[in-house]
Structure 1
Amino acid sequence: MRTVHVVVPDGIDDPARPSGGNRYDRRACDGLHALGWDVRELAVPGPWPRPDPADLARLARTVGTVPDGAAVLVDGLIASAAAAVLLPQAGRVRLVVLVHMPLGDVAVPAEAEGAVLAAARAVVTTSAWTRAELLARHRLPPDRVHVARPGADPDDEAPGTPGGGRLLCVAAVVPHKGHDLLLEALRRVAELPWSCTVVGALDRDPTFVARLRRTVDRSGLTDRIRLTGPRRGEGLRREYRAADLLVLPSRLEAYGMVVTEALAAGVPVLATDVGGVREAVGRTGAGQPGVLVPAEDPAALGEALRRWLCDAGLRERLRRAARERRRVLEGWDATARRVAAVLAAAGVDQGRP
């Protein structure tokens, strides 16, 4: 049996703080186990990617317990901020880094992130966009940087409503997810019939959430915009099945797992054309199953909403494309197989060198 030690942030299963990265880590671990791997999870506390010295010391002790020559798959949220710990270990263990989002010069120094990735035997990214970003930023050997996109669980098809007015946004309520842009766009179509459910954590940036609530109150849309907090599992799937359109106004997305989650229920997508979102939306024989607009442009977002709400033919075309995309989405088993292939290519063999 092949063994992999997986270093993840503490709390990836916390139902109060769901995130795409946490879901990916959990499903990758579970998928590797289903493929016959001995998966040994090593959860490390800390405010990653901004650890304090005590967090780094705990990480060093944790990685130090891994046997010589063993495979160590480290979440990039940790790895990019832990060059001081991981570089001395890179010659002792078989280091592979899983990068959800490039963090260099955003949350950590670019040279520190680059040094860790260069020392790794392989890098797994969750989108082709992220792979291209890492290759451009850090000049890594292309044959050592691989893509294992998130999977999507099959879901029942959303029936949709005739007017298409049930809008859904699934994202933690933080500035880079663009909820302020969404509110401005919704104000521009206030005379049309719609409601908007916002699903996502409300405790990451309380100041931003309070400002959004004040904006909603002043706009007179309080009875039409609902902030539910986070949802997981069947509760989240119910939100998708009740929706007509997923709206994702992000300023930055490495992939956008909520896009494929919505498409798995046959729900079209209106999103900003950032990062790997275009990759997640995909294309079908019936066309693109959604509409992409420029980032930081609430006027373009509002106009796209107006077209969706006023054009029954557009709604039908996008729904037809979403249903087609739904049929070809890959599951998490495919993700796990790709991660396993990277680990195997990195020289993992029974946990020994």
Structure 2
Amino acid sequence: MSLRSVHFVLPGGVDDPAAPSGGNAYDRRVCLDLPGFGWQVHRHAVAGDWPRPDAAARTELARTLRELPDGAVVLLDGLVACGVPEVVVPEAERLRMAVLVHLPLGDETGLDAAVAAGLDARERAVLRAVPAVVATSDWAVRRLVSHHGLAPDRVHVAAPGADIAPLAPGTDGVSRLLCVAAVTPRKGQHRLVEALAAVADLPWSCALVGGLGQDPAYVAQLRDLIREHGLEDRLELAGPQTGAALDASYAAADLMVLTSYAETYGMAVTEALARGIPVLATDVGGLPEAVGRAPDGGVPGILVPPENPCALAAELRGWFGEAEVRRRLKAAARGRRAALGGWASTAQSLAAVLRRLPTEPRRAA
């Protein structure tokens, strides 16, 4: 089979093991799987502090796009593309572009209001200029269509897949908690610390697995909060993990906890469910889609409001105190595990979007 070509423009740190993220993992995986659906992938990783790069990074992105032939199919990671309409929009006149949005730029927690508004406007300009936009959940599709005024037929979903892994043996079936997320304000680990402090009488231990380099000030505040509550011996900031180390953390986990303020999907949730681990998460964005349901209708997780550590603490007490709650959640997690979609479905959806790009580049309405 003759493969078509797609040029995938990625953030420069996509392969950095010190900064693992769901977006990077998604990008790497579709690069591997798209050839199976007729697309040869040419990677173009562009270094820079995206989505607010310096002049050198802007120049490098402009050069990368300028050197692509007229009519080339180009998939751009939204982290790179959406903050620089002055670079991307002119090239939409001659390249067949699709933009993959992992998270709307203005949804990042902790941004100054003016910065968020500026990023929002830049993203809108880019997404309105390209013929196709790809989001990672049905919720994210609806959000982009309504927020940016995009034509619904131009915004497509390609939800992340999951690799089914061996069932996690856990620690004792109840006490080992795991949070897998970069330590940033958007992931809300401070709310988890507050909730755990409220249930300090329970016999829990918790590992926070995730990069510590994105927001050092927040990491420092989190360490102070952990010390303030006297939880240093029970709550570990484990740093970023990949491969066998991450597998070992999942294997030891009895319950996955994610306290994000914004998520378009939540790949850490499906990674946990792929091992039969129940989930306690915030009811935001695409997280309910990631949690999903087992084929028998069972729900493999509990959802709580993002700004309510008391609700989180109450659900933790229920988890520890009610054996029937644990039994029900674990059974649903195993059922959901068997029904999770694989990465082949993600690549197939993305390939279909690329195939439908207009033959002649044109500005989108």
- TM-score under structure 2 length normalisation: 0.93
Letter in 1 for 2:89: L
1:250-265 mapped onto 2 (5 Å cutoff): 250-265=260-275
CA distance in 1, matches of 2:118, 2:30: 25
Runs of 4 or more off by more than 3 Å in structure 1?
160-163
**Is 1:333–2:329 an aligned residue pair?**
no
For the 8 Å contact 1:8–1:43, the answer to whether it is kept is yes
Give a deviation string over 1:174-204, Cα, whole Å, max 9, x none.
1111111000000111011110011011122
1:59-138 mapped onto 2 (5 Å cutoff): 59-104=61-106, 106=116, 108-138=118-148
For the 8 Å contact 2:172–2:254, the answer to whether it is kept is no
Letter in 2 for 1:210: A
> Hey, what does 1:142 align to over in structure 2?
152
1:154-233 mapped onto 2 (5 Å cutoff): 154-233=164-243
Instruction: List runs of 5+ in structure 1 lacking aligned partners.
Output: none
For the 8 Å contact 1:33–1:39, the answer to whether it is kept is yes
Give a deviation string over 1:99-138, Cα, whole Å, max 9, x none.
1111247374333211211111111101111111110011
**Is 1:315–2:326 an aligned residue pair?**
yes
> Hey, what does 1:342 align to over in structure 2?
353
1:109 partner SS: helix
CA distance in 2, matches of 1:268, 1:109: 35
CA distance in 2, matches of 1:238, 1:317: 24
For the 8 Å contact 1:286–1:317, the answer to whether it is kept is no
C-alpha distance 72-153 of structure 1, shift in aligned 2 (>3 A) = same
> Hey, what does 2:311 align to over in structure 1?
300
> Hey, what does 2:293 align to over in structure 1?
283
State which drifts further: 200-209 or 90-99.
Answer: 200-209
For the 8 Å contact 2:137–2:264, the answer to whether it is kept is yes
Letter in 1 for 2:206: C
Give a deviation string over 1:246-300, Cα, whole Å, max 9, x none.
0001111111100000000000000010110001000122521000000111100
CA distance in 2, matches of 1:150, 1:107: 28
CA distance in 1, matches of 2:283, 2:348: 29
For the 8 Å contact 1:70–1:348, the answer to whether it is kept is no
For the 8 Å contact 1:165–1:194, the answer to whether it is kept is yes
1:38 Cα deviation (Å)? 1.7
CA distance in 1, matches of 2:331, 2:180: 22
Instruction: List runs of 5+ in structure 2 lacking aligned partners.
Output: 107-114, 361-365
For the 8 Å contact 2:263–2:284, the answer to whether it is kept is yes
CA distance in 2, matches of 1:286, 1:39: 38
Q: Please, what is the CA RMSD of the aligned residues?
A: 1.5
2:219 partner SS: helix
1:147 Cα deviation (Å)? 0.3
For the 8 Å contact 1:9–1:45, the answer to whether it is kept is yes
2:116 partner SS: coil
> Hey, what does 2:35 align to over in structure 1?
33
C-alpha distance 61-217 of structure 1, shift in aligned 2 (>3 A) = same
Letter in 1 for 2:81: A
> Hey, what does 2:112 align to over in structure 1?
none
For the 8 Å contact 2:38–2:351, the answer to whether it is kept is no
1:25 Cα deviation (Å)? 0.7
Letter in 2 for 1:88: P
> Hey, what does 1:48 align to over in structure 2?
50
2:27 partner SS: helix
Letter in 1 for 2:167: E
C-alpha distance 71-225 of structure 1, shift in aligned 2 (>3 A) = same
CA distance in 1, matches of 2:168, 2:84: 43
> Hey, what does 1:22 align to over in structure 2?
24
1:106 partner SS: helix
- TM-score under structure 1 length normalisation: 0.96
State which drifts further: 155-164 or 246-255.
Answer: 155-164
- Identical amino acids, percent of aligned pairs: 56
CA distance in 2, matches of 1:205, 1:89: 33
Give a deviation string over 1:38-80, Cα, whole Å, max 9, x none.
2111111110000122211111111001100010100001111
2:133 partner SS: strand
C-alpha distance 46-162 of structure 1, shift in aligned 2 (>3 A) = closer
Aligned residues: 349
C-alpha distance 100-56 of structure 1, shift in aligned 2 (>3 A) = same
State which drifts further: 17-26 or 235-244.
Answer: 235-244
CA distance in 2, matches of 1:101, 1:205: 17
For the 8 Å contact 1:97–1:123, the answer to whether it is kept is yes
Letter in 1 for 2:25: R
